[in-house]
């Protein structure tokens, strides 16, 4: 678990991920949290079925690089957003992240704090040398999170900006 000023960032186990996908507050009950209104987008549901759950179930892999890390507001004792690392580091020691803040908690700097927490955790992982992410060109809030955490734009396509942060070991 990672702790920041306002948040606890917790990697979910396989069973917790299954409860997360139900959106029935069973995960919140298990974690002794206040309930929150969250939904799962079709894209996230597909990622759960095709990538996240199978990778977390694979005992040969370090689940921390495949699971959802949920962010919990210390003040409200609620889940406010999530971050996922998209698989174990590649040959260059690079990991990719994706993230989202629940609607009620957007615009409050939480995701900047979550990404900052993951950066600090990644710095403690000897195998991780850099973090990459992609954002939709139109999603200003998403790329501002990366800019505030010192990511540099490394490229772009018609739809996406690509970002990278080198970690100083």
Give me the phi and psi of 37, to 5 degrees please: -95, 110
Say if residues 90 and 127 touch (Cβ distance below 8 Å).
Answer: no
- Position 168 scores a pLDDT of 75
Residue-wise pLDDT tens for the chain (169 aa)?
Answer: 999 999 999 999 999 999 999 999 999 999 999 998 888 888 888 889 999 999 999 999 999 999 999 999 999 999 999 999 999 999 999 999 999 999 999 999 999 999 999 999 999 999 999 999 999 999 999 999 999 999 999 999 999 999 999 997 5
Q: Are strands 94-101 and 160-166 parallel, antiparallel or unpaired?
A: unpaired
For 86, the 3-state DSSP assignment is coil
Predicted pLDDT of residue 43: 83
Which CATH number, 3.50.30.30, 3.40.630.30, 2.102.10.10, 1.25.40.10, labels domain 2-166?
3.40.630.30
Judge contact between 122 and 65, C-beta under 8 A: no
SS3 category, 3: strand
Q: Domain spans of the chain?
A: 2-166
Q: How many CB atoms are located within 10 Å of the residue 2 CB?
A: 19
Cα distance between residue 14 and residue 55, in whole Å: 9
Structural contact between residues 87 and 66, judged by C-beta atoms closer than 8 angstroms: yes
Alpha helix locations (H) across 23-139?
Answer: 26-30, 42-47, 53-57, 110-123
């Amino acid at each position: 678990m990672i702790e920041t000023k306002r948040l606890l960032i917790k990697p979910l186990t396989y069973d917790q991920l299954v409860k997360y996908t139900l959106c029935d507050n069973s995960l919140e009950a298990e974690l002794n949290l206040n309930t929150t209104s969250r939904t799962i987008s079709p894209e996230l549901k597909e990622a759960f079925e095709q990538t996240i759950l199978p990778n977390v179930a694979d005992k040969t892999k370090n689940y921390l690089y495949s699971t959802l890390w949920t962010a919990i507001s210390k003040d409200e004792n609620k889940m406010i957003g999530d971050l996922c690392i998209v698989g174990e580091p590649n040959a260059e020691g690079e990991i990719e992240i994706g993230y989202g803040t629940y609607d009620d908690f957007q615009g409050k700097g939480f995701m900047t704090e979550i990404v900052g927490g993951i950066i600090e955790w990644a710095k403690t992982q000897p195998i991780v040398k850099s973090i990459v992410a992609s954002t939709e060109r139109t999603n200003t809030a998403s790329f501002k999170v990366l800019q505030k955490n010192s990511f540099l734009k490394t490229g772009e396509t018609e739809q996406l900006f690509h970002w990278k942060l080198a970690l100083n070991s």
